[in-house]
Amino acid sequence: MSGSNRTVEAVQRQVEAMTADLFEVGLFKPDAQEGEAIMVPRMWDSDSLARSIPWLRHQNRDGRNIYIRPKGEHDLSLIDDLTRDAIAQMKLAGFSPALVVETSPSNFQAWLKHPEKLDKEMGTAAARALAERFGGDTGAADWRHFGRLSGFTNRKQKYCDPATGLYPFVKLVEAGGAVYPEAERFLTEVRQRIEDRHRERERRASCASAPIPRVSQTKSIDAFRGDLRYGGDGTRIDLAYAVYAIAHGHTEGEVEAAIRSRDLSHKGSERRQQDYVQRTIKKALAATERSR
């Protein structure tokens, strides 16, 4: 089979396993020259994508990496940067991927298919939980992350063979397209985590807004959030407030509750959010101690 036919077959099998009505295809060239777009986006259904393969091959030869994701909210989760052992562990645990792509030698992406379409919050929470569980890249775990489209070459310079100047092909390893066995139980668990997080956020917001008689004349964290000097930078605001509050007699617990009155989910898992809060308080304590 020729290289062109292998690419067509790989693309068709991947698209069939993903089963979306529309796809977003991204053509990424990090070293684009002046006047060239770094990312060229396209939106196609499966038939239009199949007809565009010759053009995609040309763009790939010209240095562009070819990526794909479903358009809008969908029923898939992408786990990036997996080992072969991690894929095996997923299957043993009841999380068999609908699709496995080898993006570079011994490095894999897996798409898991859920039994229902997930909204943005649920999709991101599910992707992060899966990445944490199986050792994937949590930084690439969200509801709409691009995965590589098989049948094209991975144009990262570090994978270029110095002897031949060739790049490795992105290989389609599996494309069964089935929902994983543990889906219902896993999604119930993820929903419970989201509900728990919402309740905890509401509780902390309530604590932060409650009056504290002995320091009732001090500024609240909302005053810092509205201060134009900080330009809406949440990290700067949190630290400035923490220094101020500790200097005015607030306890560490009160400062933590105030900081957590905003959504910190962009910081990552609950552990990472807690680490961020504690680092901020530690810096504030050090700054307060120096000023005495």
Residue range 126-134: mean pLDDT, rounded: 97
Q: Would you give the DSSP letter of residue 229?
A: G
- pTM to 2 decimals? 0.70
Q: How many residues comprise the chain? A: 292
Q: Residue 67 CB: number of other CB atoms within 10 A? A: 19
Residue range 162-180: mean pLDDT, rounded: 96
pLDDT by residue (tens digit) across 244-276?
A: 988 888 888 888 888 988 888 888 888 888 899
**Residues 151, 104, 101, 16, Cα dihedral to 10°:** -20
Alpha carbons 39 and 115: distance in angstroms, whole number: 32
Taking 50 as the threshold, does the pLDDT of residue 1 lie above it?
Answer: yes
Taking 90 as the threshold, does the pLDDT of residue 287 lie above it?
Answer: no
Is residue 219 within 8 A of residue 249, CB to CB? The reply is no
Is residue 40 within 8 A of residue 26, CB to CB? The reply is yes
| Tokens of residue 101, six digits | 């792509």
**Which domains occur in the chain, in start order?**
3-185 (3.30.70.1790), 201-291 (1.10.1240)
pLDDT score at 124: 95
| Residues forming a β-bridge with 108 | 82, 102
pLDDT score at 215: 44
pLDDT by residue (tens digit) across 19-45?
A: 999 999 999 998 888 889 999 999 999
Alpha carbons 104 and 148: distance in angstroms, whole number: 10
pLDDT-above-90 percentage for the chain: 67
